[in-house]
Amino acid sequence: DQGVAKISATVVVELCNRRAMELLDLPAELMASKPTLVNVLAYLRARGEFQGASQEVLDLLRHSNGGVDQPQVYDRPRPDGRILEVQTVPIKGGGALRTFTDVTQRKQAEQQIRHVAEHDGLTGLLNRTAFSQALQAAATDVHRSGRGFAVLYVDLDGFKRVNDTLGHDAGDFVLQTVGRRMQEAVRSCDTVARIGGDEFIAYLGQLSDEQEAVVVAERILRACNQP
């Protein structure tokens, strides 16, 4: 299941197995000619292979030896949506062994687990723990950006009566609707969370003054007061 390439001390791709060619969409003719790693990277770059790569990976691949002189492991998204784990193991005397593993399913599973851990199961909003972490990061960023932020605490009056008279399904519908309306009322740079029961909270970032927060707060109230 693993793609393997052997790169010589002179940075020539001496061996590239079938799986590696499949994962990277490399033509057999090119690899049979024993090209330099620079030529292989140029071929891939021309096909948009590295459009989703991080700046760190791009800097690594720009080196004349393609980064084969040091051990490394990194994830690289491909244009087709798959994610490859690329590992480089230097060989004594020069050159390296580079492996390519399709970790798309594993990453999707990790992302799903992370989403469940960070979001409220009913409304899909951030939960209390994730919001607290986001707020700490935002507070730290304030010192760097010099712009203020606000936190809005939103509590639903009379919510218990909804559950008592109409049932919990109706109560769930109310909470989902309020969460959706709050998200629609805030700006793209803001974050909304449900922190428990009928309690919601919103982080408003990049504020110049208090009045900007008041405007968003009033917009939330208008949205939630609709039938």
Catalytic residue status for 172: no
Among residues 59, 155, 198, 209, the one annotated as catalytic is 198
* The Cα angle at residue 58 between residues 54 and 64, in degrees rounded to 5: 160
Q: What is the full DSSP assignment across 23-53?
A: HHT--HHHHHT--BHHHHHHHHHHTTTTTT-
Query: Which region holds residue 191: left if phi is over 0, alpha if psi is between -120 and 50, else beta?
Result: beta
Specify the DSSP class assigned to residue 119. B
- Dist. CA 87–CA 155, nearest whole Å: 50
pLDDT above 90: residue 100: yes
Q: Which residues contact 181 (CB under 8 A, 6 or more apart)?
A: 220, 223, 224, 226
Listing DSSP states for 135-203 in one string gives HHHHHHHHHHH--EEEEEEEE-TTHHHHHHHH-HHHHHHHHHHHHHHHHHHS-TT-EEEEEETTEEEEE
Whole-number Å distance between alpha carbons of 7 and 68: 8
DSSP 12: B
pLDDT at 141: 76
Q: Among 44-48, 98-102, 143-147, 215-219, where is mean pLDDT lowest? A: 143-147
C-alpha pair distances (Å), 198 with each of 51, 151, 203: 43, 17, 17
Query: What are the Cα distances from residue 128, in Å, to 2, 27, 120, 153?
Result: 40, 50, 8, 12
**Which strands, in side-by-side order, build the sheet including 3-7?**
13-16, 3-7, 96-102, 83-90, 72-77
Q: How many CB atoms lie within 10 A of CB 86?
A: 21
pLDDT-derived band at 16 (thresholds 50, 70, 90) equals very high
Q: What is the pLDDT of residues 128-140, one digit of tens each?
A: 999 998 888 888 8
pLDDT tens readout for residues 129-188: 999 988 888 888 777 777 789 999 999 999 999 999 999 999 999 999 999 999 999 998
| Average pLDDT over the chain, rounded to an integer | 90
* Cross-strand pairs, 106: none
CA distance 181 to 170: 16
Cα distances (angstroms) measured from residue 32 to each of 2, 5, 13, 86, 225: 19, 12, 9, 21, 69
